[in-house]
Amino acid sequence: MARLWNFSAGPAVLPQEVLTQVQGEMLDWHGSGMSVMEMSHRGREFTGIIEQAEADLRTLLSVPDNYRILFMQGGALAENALIPLNLLGKKTAADYVVTGSWSAKSAQEAGKYCTVNLAASSQTDGYTSVPALQSWQLSDDPAYLFICTNETIGGVEYGFTPDMATLGHPDLPIVADMSSHILSRPVDVSKYGLIFGGAQKNIGPAGLTLVIVRDDLLGYARRECPSAFDFRIVADNGSMYNTPPTFAIYVAGLVFQWIKRQGGLAAMEQMNVRKARTLYQAIDDSAGFYRNPVELHSRSRMNVPFLLADETLYDMFLAEAKQAGLVSLKGHKSVGGLRASIYNAMPEEGVKVLVEFMQQFARVRG
């Protein structure tokens, strides 16, 4: 059986090496006589697994000692509520930069809990850019500034880390939804108050949500915040206040080790730059047959949306791509068009096969 080239935005492709390893360890993990799925989360074996996963993630992202790593559930969308519930404290407002569907959703959800100030938005250009930092307008006393550093649907990625000092708020914590590009490149964690992401894009199976939070931001959860989602309680209990998603944590841990074997995040970034360059070049060199709507400096390395000049060809493109073993290329239903998600686990070979297919399709139908 041949595996397909899977360009899904999430749940997404995982490294084949990791899947094979999981398969090999499925019935008997390291002589334990059982699958990781069947183990007590408090037993010695699983404790080792989660501690190793945390240590590897810390190494990969160079997470400073004053940051806690939480393995949670609920996905990024739950975080949209849990962040205001945990971080507002006595404050009543938070600032949001809206650059696409996901940050728009985040801002809307936060509106249930506080006053939301729209610090900047690229809605007027159809969410095809990140507004220049100089144009951001922060409110007087926000609890935090929220950004989504890679908009999975629009294919818009931050090419910079916002520097709050230049905006006159040096101590304002930045909260970043990095669901769809975490671990695709090195990040200076110390520039953020909190980083979060659902695992199913670039980390591992669905069901696990990562939160990396500076420890001075813990302990401010509102009374009505569910205890199982109070960052302080989750941190104090080593992500085991309630049963964590053990199997997803185990697979994520294997992915962290796989990334280390690739050479870490600097090496991942180089590979991701090459893949993105290859694909954007094919789009840009197609004489308008294909088109990417995103402003040049805000193009995502992970999610590449593209349109066909001839709208009648979409079904044919998807059908022929599928025949060629290339799947999940349909754009998100809210924006239409096509989209190739080329996460860490998509090999360069897969992008090459896609580009050759696109060029052939354009030659025949152009």
Ligand X SMILES: *Cc1c(COP(=O)(O)O)cnc(C)c1O
Catalytic residues: 102, 177, 201
Binders of ligand X among 98-127, rule CB under 6 A? Answer: 102
Of the chain, the end-to-end C-alpha distance in Å amounts to 33
Identify the three-state secondary structure at position 241.
coil
Would you list the DSSP string of 134-188?
Answer: GG----SS-S-EEEESEETTTTEE-SS---GGGGT-TTPPEEEE-TTTTTSS---
Identify the three-state secondary structure at position 68.
strand
Which residues, other chains included, contact 316 with Cβ-Cβ below 8 Å and sequence gap of 6+?
A: 365
Which residues, other chains included, contact 273 with Cβ-Cβ below 8 Å and sequence gap of 6+?
A: 301
Phi, psi of 116 (to 5 degrees): -105, 120
Instruction: Tell me which stretch binds ligand X (CB under 6 A): 23-31, 47-55, 72-80, 130-138.
Output: 72-80
Candidates 131, 198, 337, 350: give the one binding ligand X (CB under 6 A): 198
Supply the angle between the helices 246-262 and 264-284 in degrees, to the nearest 10.
80
Instruction: Tell me which stretch binds ligand X (CB under 6 A): 21-29, 108-116, 173-181, 231-239.
Output: 173-181
> Least distance to ligand X from the beta carbon of 359, Å?
29
Instruction: Tell me which stretch binds ligand X (CB under 6 A): 39-47, 74-82, 305-313, 338-346.
Output: 74-82
Q: Which is nearer to ligand X, 75 or 253 (CB)?
A: 75
Total chain residues near ligand X (CB under 6 A):
12
Would you list the DSSP string of 291-349?
Answer: E--S-GGGB-SSEEEEEESSGGGHHHHHHHHHHTTEE--BPPTTT-SEEEE--TTS-HH
Candidates 75, 173, 331, 350: give the one binding ligand X (CB under 6 A): 75
> Least distance to ligand X from the beta carbon of 148, Å?
5
Candidates 152, 202, 272, 344: give the one binding ligand X (CB under 6 A): 152
Q: Which is nearer to ligand X, 176 or 282 (CB)?
A: 176
Q: Is 201 in the site for ligand X (CB under 6 A)?
A: yes
Q: Is 87 in the site for ligand X (CB under 6 A)?
A: no
Residue labelled with tokens 């989750």: 234
Q: Which is nearer to ligand X, 39 or 213 (CB)?
A: 213
Q: Is 77 in the site for ligand X (CB under 6 A)?
A: yes
Q: Which is nearer to ligand X, 73 or 292 (CB)?
A: 73
Of 126, 194, 136, 131, whose CA–CA distance to 159 is shortest? 131
Q: Which is nearer to ligand X, 77 or 318 (CB)?
A: 77
CA 243 to chain centre: 23
- HSE-CB for 302 with a 13 A CA cutoff: 31
Q: Of all residues in this chain, which one has the CB nearest to ligand X in the complex?
A: 75
> Least distance to ligand X from the beta carbon of 206, Å?
7
Of 220, 351, 333, 206, whose CA–CA distance to 280 is shortest? 351
Q: Is 338 in the site for ligand X (CB under 6 A)?
A: no
CA 128 to chain centre: 18
Q: Is 177 in the site for ligand X (CB under 6 A)?
A: yes
> Least distance to ligand X from the beta carbon of 263, Å?
25
Q: Is 335 in the site for ligand X (CB under 6 A)?
A: no
Residues at the contact surface with ligand X, assessed by CB under 6 A: 10, 75-77, 102, 148, 152, 177, 179-180, 198, 201
